[in-house]
């Protein structure tokens, strides 16, 4: 067998330290060098193809090499790639802000740009704290996060996350935060509905806010799906209840829609399913269609006004990144928004999500599947030893990795989170491609749970 990938693989292992990877794994697990990608297919140097069932880490909405996004970026490149955005501005950044505001829940009128999701989360946290400070509420210094939440990898974002391994490792570096139990419906009682469980989880949140609201700046949440925390899902009733609690106790609500925004859950933003407007809305990932690093924080005029004053009051927001409002990134984002206007994307997604749900039905009966759950175009299959929601495979067994390996042999990129095999396909995936990814996942799950 020829292996045109081998040369690049060898060079890679000499110099490239990969994200979220125990590099020693690559002594036995071959890296996959990708030469090009078109639509939902990635292709290596041997011409082997891989179906991108996870949208290249949840960023790619309309496929790779999309002609409209490609063209819009090329056009932008002809006029302006990037310029400082302190004191200067440019048309793509202004238009993108206008169009994001038009798409967002009512009441969000200001856009602050950053370069990745973690930075957007840092900005929302700082802005919330600083807005209270500018109002003389200097005791408000703490944040409430949910168990199972994930908000990125920088220290502030990690502090409001609760992925156990991260907390164990970096705990001594993290600011102390308050934790409330997640509305995660995997943990519901036997026979309890999603809605009832999610509503019940508002009670400990209410108690926490009641007791400590004077010190709390904001609550941060991933609306509807805690993605990195094993694709755990909750009912929109939790979001509307949480909005009401935040209003009652004068605490900001930060909605981190970095993974779930842009049509992923069935509505353009997940918050819409609860009819709420957060005080801060963080977007990233799919914002540029998976092309370029760009993120943004949308906020209200009320927050903006907390900072708007004479220079000498020193109330201005203190934050900048070198590439804030990068013009190429804004062009890619504008092209992505165009695609939502050119086709009824949300309707198409609903049809594709229904197809995905049908394809997954056989897995619900599998003896080692504890649950199959779905919200829009996110579906997850929880592998458990007894096929219930209480038993767990020890993480050391790395059963998800077996599914990943099987997927690669069959030309499908699946990347389970622990024992959870999930699908987060690009919106342009066909019904046949959905069937293929589910079929390969079924085979992988059978292998991974056999003994
Ligand atoms: C991925 C993610 C982030 C972090 O975004 P990066 O661009 O990887 O820094 C933050 N929040 C959520 C919900 C995410 O899924």
- Residues 110-139: pLDDT tens digits? 999 999 999 999 999 999 999 999 999 999
Distance 167 CA to ligand 1 centre (A): 16
Distance 117 CA to ligand 1 centre (A): 4
For the chain, helix, strand, coil in percent to 5 are 45, 15, 40
Task: Establish whether residue 229 lines the binding site of ligand 1, counting it when its CB lies within 6 angstroms of any ligand atom.
Answer: no
Structure tokens belonging to residue 197: 């469980």
pTM above 0.85, yes or no: yes
Indicate which atom in ligand 1 lies nearest the CA of residue 228.
Answer: 15
Residue 4 reports pLDDT greater than 90: no
**Helices 345-364 & 431-449 angle (0-180, nearest 10):** 30
Question: Which residue's structure tokens are 């030893």?
Answer: 385
Q: For the chain, list the domains and their CATH numbers.
A: 34-65+344-448 (3.90.1150.10), 70-342 (3.40.640.10)
At residue 164, the pLDDT reads 86
- Identify which of 151, 295, 323 to mutate to test ligand 1's pocket (most ligand atoms within 8 A of the CB): 151
CA distances from residue 220 to 40, 118, 254, 323 in whole angstroms, order as listed: 32, 13, 5, 25
pLDDT-derived band of residue 353, with 50, 70 and 90 as boundaries? very high
Backbone angles phi, psi at 401, to 5 degrees: -65, -30
CB 101 within 8 A of CB 109: yes
pLDDT-derived band of residue 2, with 50, 70 and 90 as boundaries? low
Strands 41-44 and 49-52: antiparallel
What span, in angstroms and rounded, lies between the C-alpha atoms of 274 and 330?
28
């Amino acid at each position: 067998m020829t292996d045109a990938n081998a040369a690049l693989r060898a060079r890679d292992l000499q110099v490239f330290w990969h994200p979220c990877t125990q590099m020693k794994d690559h002594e036995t697990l071959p890296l996959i060098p990708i030469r090009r990608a078109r639509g939902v297919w990635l292709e290596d140097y041997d011409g082997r193809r891989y179906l991108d069932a996870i949208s290249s880490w949840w960023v790619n909405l309309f496929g790779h090499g999309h002609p409209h996004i490609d063209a819009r970026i090329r056009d932008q490149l002809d006029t302006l790639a990037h310029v400082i955005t302190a004191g200067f501005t440019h048309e793509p950044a202004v238009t993108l802000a206008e169009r994001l505001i038009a798409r967002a829940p009512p009441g969000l009128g200001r856009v602050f740009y950053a370069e990745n999701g973690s930075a957007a989360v840092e900005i929302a946290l700082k802005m919330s704290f600083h807005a209270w400070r500018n109002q003389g509420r200097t005791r408000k210094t703490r944040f409430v996060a949910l168990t199972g939440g994930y908000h990125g990898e920088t220290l502030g974002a990690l502090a409001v996350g609760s992925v156990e391994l991260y907390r164990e490792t970096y705990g001594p570096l993290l600011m102390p935060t308050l934790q409330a139990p997640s509305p995660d419906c995997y943990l519901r009682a036997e026979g309890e509905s999603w809605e009832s469980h999610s509503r019940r989880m508002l009670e400990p949140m209410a108690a926490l806010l009641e007791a400590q609201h004077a010190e709390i700046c904001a609550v941060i949440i991933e609306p509807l799906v805690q993605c990195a925390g094993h694709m755990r899902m909750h009912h929109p009733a939790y979001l509307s209840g949480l909005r009401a609690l935040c209003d009652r106790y004068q605490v900001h609500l930060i909605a981190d829609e970095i993974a779930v925004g842009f049509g992923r859950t069935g509505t353009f933003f997940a918050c819409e399913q609860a009819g709420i407007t957060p005080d801060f809305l963080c977007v990233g990932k799919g914002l540029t269609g998976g092309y370029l690093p760009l993120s943004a924080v949308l906020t209200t005029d009320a927050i903006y006004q907390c900072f708007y004053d004479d220079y000498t009051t020193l109330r201005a927001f203190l934050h900048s990144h070198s590439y804030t409002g990068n013009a190429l990134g804004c062009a890619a984002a504008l092209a992505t928004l165009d695609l939502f206007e050119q086709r009824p994307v949300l309707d198409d997604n609903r049809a594709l999500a229904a197809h995905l749900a049908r394809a997954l039905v056989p897995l619900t009966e599998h003896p080692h599947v504890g649950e199959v759950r779905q919200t829009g175009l996110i579906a997850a299959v929880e592998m458990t030893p007894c096929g219930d929601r209480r038993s767990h495979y020890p993480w050391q067994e790395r059963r998800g990795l077996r599914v990943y390996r099987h997927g690669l042999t069959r030309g499908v990129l699946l990347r389970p989170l622990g024992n959870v095999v999930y699908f987060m396909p690009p919106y342009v995936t066909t019904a046949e491609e959905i069937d293929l990814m589910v079929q390969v996942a079924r085979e992988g799950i059978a292998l991974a749970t056999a003994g």
